């Protein structure tokens, strides 16, 4: 596609241009900035086109959140009536429940109906009776080995879950309340900033991460937590310092490690892309010692790494490469070649041994 | 209430389809999830066509109630979102056709929509070039035809592809191109005119044009 003679309208209509303005990614951003450098005569037009597209994404006709709540009341009432007229067979649902293994399967427990207490108070007594909930319902997303999954939360934030990860939502996501999640495993968060400054809090096994519209990575395996901030600003709370708790505000490019006693173990500046590459399904290693790679294999694939090498100094030798996460065997072959050892997978074990494959 | 569990497909990228299937099986929490997820975009889209909050509310409510009534007869759409957008569109149009008096009052409704924009005359004089364009643009958008507004909403707010829009609006892809093209022409025309006006306003400081 030759954009050289594009007029304003042509840019506005072009889907790749729209994509760059509305949902930019590394690839499109690199393309357009380079193109602009080579075609400076189009800079004014493109700037104008960008402004217009940005304006077009605004929509003025947003009703107050209470409108959606009151609409839901009407819908629920009608639904109850429909169900009373023709009761649906519960056995169908129980069958689903029985057929699926709850241990290794990926579970999805749906969210509760979100009813703000304030709204219930406004409506008449009959309505209140219909919306009583029996105990907390929460939604939990889970992933298995070597699996990444993107999940969209009710507030349109997105979370990419890493392998062997569980993310639980609190049962009362709604206007005016905190958005809280509990994480074990690894997740990359892209949090929507809400107009009412509603907080977004990630609970890990050690600390809480509080955010206000940002992109960051949380790695919480085996009660050690590592946070990498890509863009925006986050606040870490619950960190132990001597006799009291403290908070830390993180800046983009920072990485902080927390141990199981909630103490800061390491704090440094990093290239956040390296630490969040997994969400594009690549494992990136940059001068990573073999010892750490073994840990990564355990975390990512749920395998046990057994090391039977006579010269343990090999474990400190570093490795720099990038591999697709899906194909473990390719990575293992590369490790074997680079380190001069035998790297073999047997069932759910990976064995590092002397001698080459 | 027993906890209902559903095992998810490993290949799923976004979990809409699993929730949709759970809802079809009668899972009320999945049903609530779908509402939470889609009510906003459905409301905004329906409003573009109905241009009236009461009609919009009625239609969105009706849609969800009907979904529940007919859940066992529903298939699995390729995109839950697009299926719902298409459904609400049909619903709003049928609703409006039944109420002829709404259609006859087109002009009144357009004015109602236009008046939702804040009065801008005095502010413009103080603002910069960019803000000039923003206000003019917002006004210009309200002056597009209903179908142009629909297409613009789906393209830029919901970020649907031309192909998807043609499916939701039940028109050809070419027709979608034409709609967006006309909309862009109108906007450009109004912005240009607006910029001329802005210069005039600056020249005659303190004199408000009605």
Of the given ranges (A33-37, A236-240, B119-123), which has the lowest mean pLDDT? B119-123
* Probe site for chain A from B18, B20, B29, B45 (most A CB atoms < 10 A): B29
Question: Residue A74 and residue A77: Cα distance in Å, rounded?
Answer: 5
Which A-chain residues 182-221 have CB contacts (< 8 A) with chain B? none
Q: Which residue has the tokens 């789906």?
A: B154
Q: Using one digit for the tens of pLDDT, what is the confidence trace for B141-179?
A: 888 888 999 999 999 988 899 999 999 998 999 999 999
Q: Which residue has the tokens 């149009």?
A: B93
Of residues B206 and A328, more confidence is placed in A328
Question: What are the residues whose beta carbons fall under 8 Å from the beta carbon of B51, sequence distance 6 or more?
Answer: B109, B110, B112, B113, B146
Closest CB from B22, B37, B180 relative to A13: B180
Considering only CB atoms, which chain B residues are within 8 Å of A92?
Answer: 25-26
Q: Would you call A78 and B65 a contact, using CB atoms and an 8 Å cutoff?
A: yes
Beta strands, E only, chain A: 107-108, 140-142, 149-152, 158-161, 166-169, 179-191, 200-203, 208-211, 214-221, 224-231, 234-241, 244-250, 254-258, 264-269, 282-289, 304-308, 318-324, 342-346, 349-353
Q: What is the pLDDT of residue A221?
A: 73
Crossing angle for the helix pair B80-98 and B162-169, to the nearest 10 degrees: 40
Between A197-206, B129-138, B175-184, the lowest mean confidence (pLDDT) is in: B129-138
Would the pLDDT of A94 be above 70?
no
Which of residues 46 through 105 in chain A touch B, CB cutoff 8 A?
51-53, 55-63, 67-68, 71-72, 74-75, 78-79, 82, 88, 92-94, 96-97, 100, 102, 105
Residue of A22, A59, A151 lying closest to B159 (CB–CB): A22
Structure-token match 């907080």, residue found = A199
Q: Please indicate if any CB of chain B lies within 8 Å of the CB of A178.
A: no
pLDDT band at A145 (very low <50, low <70, confident <90, very high): confident
More confident position, B116 or A166: A166
Nearest to B137 by CA among A18, A42, A49: A49
Q: Mutation test of the interface with chain A: which of B19, B38, B65, B117, choosing the one with the most A Cβ atoms within 10 A?
A: B65
CB spacing of B5 vs A100 below 8 angstroms: yes
Of A78, A97, A150, the CB nearest to B5: A97
Check CB contact under 8 Å for A61 and B44: yes
Q: State mean pLDDT over B92-102.
A: 74
pLDDT at position B91: 93
- Model confidence over A188-244: pLDDT tens digits? 887 766 656 677 889 888 888 888 667 777 877 767 788 888 777 888 888 777 767
Average pLDDT, chain A: 74
Number of C-beta neighbours around residue A38 at 10 A: 8
pTM of the model: 0.49
List residues bridging with A250 in a β-sheet. A234
What pLDDT, on a 0 to 100 scale, did the predictor assign at position A129? 24
Give the gap in angstroms from C-alpha B136 to the nearest C-alpha of chain A: 11
């Amino acid at each position: 596609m030759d954009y050289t003679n594009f007029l304003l309208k042509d840019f506005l209509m072009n889907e790749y241009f729209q994509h760059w303005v509305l949902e930019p990614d590394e690839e499109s951003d690199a393309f357009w900035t380079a193109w602009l450098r080579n075609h400076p005569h189009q800079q004014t037009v493109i700037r104008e086109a960008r402004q217009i597209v940005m304006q077009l994404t605004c929509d003025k006709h947003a009703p107050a959140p209470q409108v959606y709540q009151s609409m839901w009341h009407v819908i629920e009432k009608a639904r109850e009536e429909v169900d009373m007229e023709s009761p649906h067979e519960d056995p169908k649902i129980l069958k689903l429940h029985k057929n699926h293994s709850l241990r290794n399967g990926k579970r999805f427990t749906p969210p509760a109906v979100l009813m703000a207490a304030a709204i219930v108070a406004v409506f008449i007594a009959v309505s209140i009776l219909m919306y009583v909930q029996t105990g907390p319902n929460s939604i939990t997303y889970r992933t298995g080995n070597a699996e990444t999954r993107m999940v969209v939360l009710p507030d349109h934030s997105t979370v990419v879950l890493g392998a062997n990860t569980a993310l639980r939502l609190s049962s009362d996501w709604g206007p005016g309340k905190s958005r809280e999640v509990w994480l074990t495993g690894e997740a990359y968060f892209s949090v929507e900033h809400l107009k009412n400054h509603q907080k977004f809090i990630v609970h890990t096994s050690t600390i809480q991460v509080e955010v206000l519209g940002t992109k960051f990575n949380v790695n919480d395996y085996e009660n050690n937590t590592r946070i990498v901030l890509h863009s925006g600003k986050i606040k870490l709370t619950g960190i132990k310092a001597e006799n009291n708790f403290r908070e830390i505000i993180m800046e983009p490019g920072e990485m902080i490690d927390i141990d199981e006693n909630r103490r800061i173990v390491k704090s440094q500046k990093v290239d956040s892309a390296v630490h969040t590459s997994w969400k594009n399904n690549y494992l990136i290693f940059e001068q990573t010692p073999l010892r750490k790679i073994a840990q990564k294999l355990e975390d990512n694939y749920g395998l046990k790494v057994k090391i039977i090498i006579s010269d343990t100094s090999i474990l400190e030798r570093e490795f720099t490469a990038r591999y697709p996460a899906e194909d473990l065997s390719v990575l293992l072959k590369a490790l074997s070649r680079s380190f001069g050892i035998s790297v073999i997978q047997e069932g759910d074990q990976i064995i590092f041994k002397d001698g080459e494959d | 209430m027993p906890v209902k569990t559903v095992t998810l497909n490993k290949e799923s990228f976004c979990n809409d389809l699993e929730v949709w299937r759970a809802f079809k099986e009668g899972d009320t929490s999945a049903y609530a999830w779908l509402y939470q997820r889609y009510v906003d975009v459905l409301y905004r889209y329906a409003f573009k066509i109905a241009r009236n909050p009461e009609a919009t509310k009625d239609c969105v409510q009706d849609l969800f109630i009907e979904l529940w009534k007919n859940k066992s007869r529903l298939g699995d759409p390729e995109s839950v979102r697009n299926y719902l957008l298409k459904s609400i569109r049909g619903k709003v149009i049928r609703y409006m056709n039944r109420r002829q008096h709404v259609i006859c009052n087109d002009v009144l409704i357009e004015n109602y929509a236009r008046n939702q924009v804040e009065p801008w005359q005095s502010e413009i004089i103080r603002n910069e070039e960019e803000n000039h364009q923003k206000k003019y643009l917002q006004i210009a958008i309200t002056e597009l035809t209903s179908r142009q507004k629909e297409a613009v909403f789906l393209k830029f707010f919901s970020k649907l592809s031309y192909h998807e829009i043609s499916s939701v609006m039940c028109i050809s892809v070419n027709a979608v191109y034409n709609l967006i093209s006309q909309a862009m022409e109108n906007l450009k025309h109004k912005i240009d005119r607006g910029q001329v006006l802005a210069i005039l306003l600056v020249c005659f400081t303190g004199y408000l044009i009605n």
